[in-house]
A and B are shown apart, each in its own frame.
Chain A
Amino acid sequence: MNFYLKLAWRNNLRNKRRTGLAALAVGLGLAALIFTDALSVGMLSGIVDTATGTFMGQAQVHRRGFKDTMDADLFIAGGPALLARLSTDPLVARAAPRTVSFAMIASPSNSASVLLYGLEPDAERGVSRLDRALKAGEYLAGDSAAIVIGAALASTLEVEIGDKIVLTAAAAGGGDLAQAMFRVGGILDTGSRAMDSNLAFVRLAKAQELLNLGGNFHEIAVAFHNIDNAENAALPFWAEYGAGGNEAQGWPQLVPELGAARGMSAFGIFITAVILSGIVALGITNTLFMSLYERMFEFGVLRAVGTRPARMALMIVSEAAVLALLSAAVGMAIGWLASHLTGIYGLDYTGVDFAGVTILEPIRPKFRPLQYWLYPSCLFLFTLLVSLYPALYAARMNPIKAMRKSL
């Protein structure tokens, strides 16, 4: 075996230009696959991260049926206790409690209907990054009677930082209307028109007071240590926190469009891989046959001196193997370089709305281990496979005819 490898290595080196170019072509194919995979994974994880990390959280707990009616009375059963359990769960990095309700926000000039969230900025850190979208003012830091709204809403209401607004909402335990005054403490510019015109945020305690909730809340947004847990439907996590009238859902259930987009993307990568393999196969076959024809005389001699057909085949296959290794090396290097360089600046899609999510940060190619072991191995095996045809050809060559032929 060693002998053949050495021979194959030397044979490849004999025509550096051809070997080099072939390795380049095949390597590029591998690099393409690696880069496309990294980009797609990066894009999707970027989107998932934006979708979950901006505000939604990777998973949420609600009372069953709450989301259909947004009834203030449907707060999480056993909320505070559940929150404590979640916070100490080893899978969970942060858990943030929130109240959610429809409310009317009114200014002297106008009024609008909003979705009101009561939250705690400290608890939100690690679960949502809404504070990054703050354009002016503060994110509910000091003043407890402050309200944070989007820029579009502020403009509809014709208010600025410090102006008075009145919130009216249906309180729990009877649906009586409750009103409270707030001052605009901060203005957000998330880039999503929907978020900027329909949401309003106040301190959790204030919202609980307004809605007569006591210590209860409607939603817990969860961030795991490992975001992949959100997609793992088999975890006991969901049943554990989804008991007693509550339900726990990961982002795939909360935003099914994302999961759909991911499925399509994965399939797209698969098709691209198939096509790239086709081109690569072509390249390999071409190179091998070219080298074959060029050395016909040499092969004829080898056969004439008694080399077994099997050994001839083995030699070709070994040459292909060495080519594959070289190509893999080249491909991985180029692929890594491309991913790394693109990763420095990222691809800028900021402002684009995708599947209901606004992309706020550039997309970066993302490294995945299988890019550097699965794809190269496939390439290697594939090359070996493809080399069988020329190998068989070489094995069955007639020595006399071979020696007489010249390119």
Chain B
Amino acid sequence: MRIAAFLVLALLLPAAAPAAAPPQSSPEVRALLEKVDRLYRSARSWARIEMEVVTPDWRRTLAMDFWTEGLDKTFIRVKAPARDAGAATLRKGGEMWNYFPKIDKVMKVPPSMMMGSWMGSDFTNDDLVKESTLMDDYRGEFFSPEKPDPALHYIRLAPKAETVSLWGRIDLVIRKSDLLPLREDYYDEKGRLQRSMEFSDIAPLGGRTMPRVMRMVPLSKAGHSTTIRYLDAAFDGDLPADTFTLRNLQRAAVK
């Protein structure tokens, strides 16, 4: 669950160059995955997003600013709603800190809370911390569903033996025209669909064309879903030097 969830963010956040391990995907697949990875590669990025979380008991939409650098630095600041405004999260390497303006304290996220959901969403804190790439950890091959759409690529990914993953397979649906993902389906080892990611609203964003809306639905939990909307983004621009510092967490001003 963790790895897969992060794949969503990994696709939009800069990804490092793949490691040297010999892949077992076919050359065509490898080329596709590499293109997908490279599509979102960026040394630094900034994005303004909206995250809507739906549960059977409540519904909430958070507006936040998202900064990244490399694969291991992330800074998030919540702008709305008022109750959560000013909260911030910093991730550097394997460590994570939270800041809440009301208590005015920086709290290092303890390991026990890492598996807790991040800001109430279907993502876990751990999702924001994990690093993985499709190419390195999965072996892919083309497949044909019942009614294939000729405009789409269908790739089936299976985790490599040494990969720590809960999934039996992940089915990727990619547009042939621009190699943008449309959908990811995660199946457990018994072939049951456990969660689905849908990508939509493909439009220009920060100079690139990419799906601006992602919706994640965990099928094992009825009535839950998390939808992320990208409102604005900038890639490879300059970021203030102290973006990824603890000090920045406590700053009230918005960058």
- Chain A residues packing against B (C-beta within 8 Å): 102, 104, 106-111, 113, 158, 163-166, 168-170, 174-177, 179-181
Contacts and interface: CB of A to CB of B under 8 A. Distances in A.
Interface of B: 1-2, 94-95, 110-112, 114-115, 124, 126, 129, 164-167, 186, 188-190, 192, 194, 220-221
Contacts of B190: 163
A276 B239 CA distance: 87
Given A164-B189, A165-B166, A181-B165, A106 B115 contact: yes
Contacts of A180: 164
A106 B220 CA distance: 13
Contacts of B129: 177
Given A108-B192, A110-B220, 9 more contacts: A104-B112, A106-B2, A106-B115, A107-B188, A108-B188, A158-B220, A166-B2, A175-B110, A177-B114
Nearest to A167: B164
14 contacts: A106-B1, A108-B186, A108-B188, A108-B220, A109-B220, A110-B220, A111-B1, A163-B189, A164-B188, A166-B166, A168-B114, A168-B126, A169-B111, A177-B126
B218 to A, nearest CB: 8
Most chain B CB within a 10 A radius of its CB, from A108, A164, A180: A108
Contacts of A110: 220-221
A110 B124 CA distance: 12
B111 A170 contact: yes
Contacts of A104: 112, 114-115
A198 B188 CA distance: 23
Nearest to A159: B188
A104 B164 CA distance: 14
Contacts of B221: 110
Contacts, number: 69
A298 B77 CA distance: 109
B126 A113 contact: no
A111 B123 CA distance: 12
B136 to A, nearest CB: 15
Given A163-B189, A177-B129, A108 B114 contact: no
A324 to B, nearest CB: 66
B111 A175 contact: yes
Interface of A is mostly: strand
Nearest to A72: B111
A176 B94 contact: yes
B71 to A, nearest CB: 16
A79 to B, nearest CB: 22
A108 B4 CA distance: 11
B111 A108 contact: no
A111 B115 contact: yes
A177 B124 CA distance: 13
B159 to A, nearest CB: 9
B42 to A, nearest CB: 26
Contacts of B110: 170, 175
A118 to B, nearest CB: 16
Most chain A CB within a 10 A radius of its CB, from B112, B167, B186: B112
A170 B1 contact: no
B58 to A, nearest CB: 20
A179 B126 CA distance: 11
A164 B190 CA distance: 10
B8 to A, nearest CB: 16
A170 to B, nearest CB: 3
Contacts of A113: 112, 115
Contact of A106 (B95, B111, B166, B186): B166
Contacts of A111: 1, 115, 124
A177 B130 CA distance: 10
Nearest to A70: B112
A97 B77 CA distance: 45
B188 A109 contact: yes
B161 to A, nearest CB: 10
Contacts of A170: 110-112, 114
Contacts of A166: 1-2, 164-166
Contacts of A176: 94-95
Given A163-B189, A164-B189, A107 B166 contact: yes
Contacts of B95: 175-176
B210 to A, nearest CB: 28
Contacts of B167: 108
Contacts of B188: 107-109, 163-164
A113 B112 CA distance: 8
B166 A102 contact: no
A24 B13 CA distance: 90
B194 A108 contact: yes
A175 to B, nearest CB: 6
Nearest to A174: B94
Nearest to A104: B115
B205 to A, nearest CB: 31
Contacts of B165: 166, 181
